[in-house]
Amino acid sequence: MIIQGRFIGNAPYLAIYLNSTGFQGLVWLLADTGASRTTLLDRDVRLLDIPVELLKPSSLPIVGIGGSVRSFQLQNVDIKFASNESNVVFRQDIWVVQHDLDRLPPDEVARIIRLPSVLGRDLINQFRFVCDYQAGIVQLER
């Protein structure tokens, strides 16, 4: 079973469909083997129109590029990958990071909004991950 991704620019991305009470939608995630957890960032939280009341404050802080940010969890989210044979579905919590955009200058907000959400090792490690830029291959295999 193979789940195809693609390069956007020179970075590997995979699409997932999220479904939960209160929101659903397709998101392209940057495959990030340096990230321990799959995490939605500001832009995708807005695009998915995730209700604020679904965001449960996280007991663990998330530190990344730019320092510490507010972190939340979305609980019991169905995560669907479309493969060449069938769909692969996981149900798990998803991490959400939100920057305090109201307190930042416009140029900083513009940079943050461009940051992609990431597919972390919590999901990548469920598969064999192939990333071959020269051949144009991004895929997860089970």
pLDDT in tens, 57-101: 987 766 655 556 788 999 999 999 988 888 999 999 999 988 777
CB 115 within 8 Å of CB 41: yes
E strand or H helix that includes residue 48: helix 42-48
Q: Give the CATH number for residue 101.
A: 2.40.70.10
pLDDT value at residue 85: 85
Structural domain boundaries enclosing 112: 2-141
Lowest mean pLDDT segment, chosen from 34-48, 88-102, 119-133: 88-102
pLDDT value at residue 63: 65
**Total tally of structural domains belonging to the chain:** 1
